[in-house]
Amino acid sequence: MKNLKLFSFRFNDLSNTDAASLITQTCEHASKVKDDLGPMAKVSLAELITNGAEFSAQVNRPRKNKYSDQVTKDRKASANLFSEINRAVAFESKSRDAAKKQAAVDFDLFFHPYSALPKGSIGAQMEQTVEMIKKYKANPELMSAAKLIGVDTLMTELEADNNALREVYETRTADMGNREASSSDLRPEATESYMDFCIIIEQYVKLAPNESIITLFNTMDELRRKHSALIQKPKDKGTTPTA
């Protein structure tokens, strides 16, 4: 063997997904020749398989969060309520009943600036709906106008739905944050196990080579080159571990 060192690159510059892929593929190829590995390599491989599997399982969990459907459902309900209020106001603004017509005009002056919230970002929609409801409930005349044109119950529903939307959205955000944290927490152990295994394979190729170990070495070297090419913007991180 002319080259007794595996291809060197900054392993930590790989994304969690690509790092998990490299570890998983390494374990698969190494497992095929496990019986031909020495004692130290077998122990190291067993540790890599365990730590790599835990890390990969976390990384490869379904991307769709379990709360996403409820967020979509609640936001759609809010959008429908906004539309229903808009229709009611537009209808009553043309009423032959002067009192209802004036109530619709007065309510529209307040509601119109908020009427397109469902078309914007979900964060702005939630927070500005809270602001709108607060102002609405603090204005008795506005509440009377809403009752006269029949949108008072819709405003109550809108407040309840927005509160539900905020709650499930915050739950989803926390869950997604925990998932990412879990992947990052599991990566150091998987990384250390992978680097240890690479060092041991390099030593076996140098000191006690056999056909299986040489083949595994070459395969691992190729896997490292392929995954290194996936790093889009390598950065100089100073002490970043080089695999």
Tokens at 8, concatenated: 């060197």
Given a contact cutoff of 8 angstroms between Cβ atoms, the answer to whether 215 and 33 are in contact is yes
- What's the confidence (pLDDT) of residue 63? 56
Distances (CA, A) of 167 to 64, 128, 178, 197, 204: 18, 15, 17, 45, 56
Distances (CA, A) of 32 to 145, 153, 216, 219, 234: 76, 67, 9, 12, 33
pLDDT in tens, 59-108: 876 555 667 778 888 889 999 999 999 999 999 999 999 999 999 999 99
pLDDT in tens, 5-50: 999 999 989 988 899 999 999 999 999 999 999 999 999 999 999 9
Cα–Cα distance between 9 and 14 in angstroms, integer? 10
* Res. 236 pLDDT band, cuts 50 70 90: very low
Cα–Cα distance between 230 and 28 in angstroms, integer? 20
pLDDT at 143 exceeding the cut of 60: yes
Q: What is the pTM of this model?
A: 0.52
- The percentage of residues in the chain with a pLDDT greater than 70, rounded to a whole number, is 87
- What's the confidence (pLDDT) of residue 65? 60
* Res. 180 pLDDT band, cuts 50 70 90: low
Phi, psi for 242 (deg, rounded to 5) = -105, 120
Mean pLDDT along residues 224-228: 94
Which of 211 and 231 is assigned the larger pLDDT?
Answer: 211
Domains of the chain in sequence order: 11-63+183-228 (1.20.120), 68-174 (no CATH)
| pLDDT-wise least confident of 20-34, 80-94, 187-201, 226-240 | 226-240
pLDDT in tens, 14-23: 988 899 999 9
Mean pLDDT along residues 174-190: 71
Mean pLDDT of the chain: 88
